[in-house]
Amino acid sequence: MKYGYFDDSKREYVITDPKTPYPWINYLGNHDFYSLISNTAGGYSFFKDAKLRRITRYRYNNIPVDDGGKYFYIKDENTVWSPGWKPVRTPLDKYECRHGLGYTKITGAKDGLEAQITYTVPLGFWGEVQKVILKNTSEKLKKIQLFSFVEWCLWNAQDDQTNFQRNFNTGEVEIDGNVIFHKTEYRERRNHYAFYSVNAEIAGFDTDKESFLGLYNGFDTPDAVLAGKATNSEAHGWSPIASHCLEVTLKPGDEKEYVFILGYVENKEEEKFVAPKVINKSRTNAMIRKFPDGKSVDLALAELQDYWSKLLSVYRLHSDDEKLNRMVNIWNPYQCMITYNFSRSASFFESGIGRGMGFRDSNQDLIGFVHMAPDRAKERIIDIASTQFEDGGAYHQYQPLTKRGNHEIGGNFNDDPLWLILSVSEYIKETGDWAILDVEVPFDNNEQNSASLFEHLKRSFYHVVSNKGAHHLPLIGRADWNDCLNLNCFSTNPDESFQTTENKEGGKAESVFIAGMFVLYGREFVKICRHKGLQEEAGLALQEIESMELAVIAHGWDGEWYLRAYDHFGRKVGTHENKGAQIFIEAQGFCSMAEIGLKKATRKKH
């Protein structure tokens, strides 16, 4: 079944059926403020960190799937519908979702009324802008009610979903004309708040979820919408929301535009209030003034499109294959920039709660976008290296808000350090910026304990040298690239995660995959040493690489392919001797790219 198509001229993917096999989402934002939005307007927003600065609430494993988002409801006489089909799910006369580069346009039509919502995060803007266009395509006068809706998250996404005895008492809002503020804990200990505004007079509002929805209703049947009238509720604790109600009159052929802004504001501690208990709204007002009408939003969209055109113009492929051109010139680089912004920290599968930015992931992501944004690549390299330990190991993840290592996950994933050599070498190849090697970078974000980036690379290299097993192959630690290959982790407690279970004391498992990495990226380290004139350093490193090659040939070759590993008890993993799981792709790929044993014809050359 076909659900949509690519529009290459507009660089958009067009979805024509809202009932996709799973929500098809887009990622909005380019720096600091981010939103995820599905083809039916589900999703959430956050500032820098999906765990620590979650702005709107989202519930995973919902029934039905993807419930909760940035919704608009239309009440047209006795009919209630949503332009994105959800949450109301009233059958539409027309539906279309266009996922573009940094924006999404959703269009719906019902009974002679067409509604289009454009969602985008403008460049350098700490907020999501939503442009709503309503058009009367019928031959009769229409008097409708338009309701907006977002549900506030109480900032820390994990605490928001667990600490109910406290959170049901802390939610705080303020209504100032057509602007609804979410200021939970702003008086007490936060320097930030959020707001949701519209550039029109409102007929009413709601900020209390139960008043808007009804205690036993879902997002599909809100009491206020069904009644065609907001309740003007003011939340005190419980679950604060933001909903505007607009009375709209459209003559046949008439069209009206509205601009909604979901924004985030930070104030310095000494600037939080302009008077006792009166919050400082100067930044809010400036943000609202920036987008007074639809034309200003269109200009921001044009600026955003220019931004992407410049990024995508760095590298262009011209071939006779339309699909290849589309992938290489539009969607693959777009995806690479998205993974730079989000790493694996937030999606519809990663909640943004249990992890931050991956050390391994972020180094890998970097090589896909370094040619488009070298300055941001350099910044990311320094951030990553700053979470490294003195012994060359590293935190497996770090929080993007604080840029500090995630203690809950910890480290000891022994492939992690080598990925830093990869990202730095690729950055230098792309930019020629050898000076980055001399930048002083802290260990574990301790500015009192720092070394040059080159020294960080050296410690990454020798972390492997210092952690070998009985077969002279690298110790795997808690796992390598295959996070589920926990060959040292033994748990008898069903309530703990294998990924966060510490190694069995004296963990002996070895990784052939890391050995392949070491040889492949170790050679890049040697090139860096030679360029710096460190010939002796290069020679010593080369000896370690040759020693690792010999260990792989002696203990990592299974006759026709490479082993994957040795487990804690010295048993082979990924061998023809096994009944199942005889071959693993990671070791084949990296040992082949490293050309281990090529001279002895261990690997077939294709």
- Taking only the tens place, the pLDDT of each residue in 287-329 is 999 999 999 999 999 999 999 999 999 999 999 999 999 999 9
CATH number of 4-310: 2.70.98.40
Q: What is the mean pLDDT of each run of 10 residues along the chain (606 residues)?
A: 95 98 96 96 96 94 91 98 98 98 98 98 98 98 98 95 90 97 96 98 98 97 98 95 98 98 97 94 98 98 97 95 97 94 85 85 94 95 96 92 86 94 98 98 95 98 97 94 86 74 78 98 98 98 98 96 96 94 96 88 50
Q: Give pLDDT, residue 250.
A: 98
Task: Tell me the three-class secondary structure of 505-559, residue by residue.
Answer: CCCCCEEHHHHHHHHHHHHHHHHHHHHCCCHHHHHHHHHHHHHHHHHHHHHCECC
Of 223, 438, 483, 558, which is the active-site residue? 483
What would the two tokens of residue 544 be?
Answer: 């370690």
Domain boundaries defined on the chain: 4-310, 468-606
Distances (CA, A) of 22 to 6, 19, 25, 40: 18, 8, 9, 11
32 catalytic? Reply is: no
Q: How far, in Å, CA of 480 to CA of 561, rounded? A: 19
pLDDT score, position 603 = 52
Distance CA 403, CA 446 (A): 12
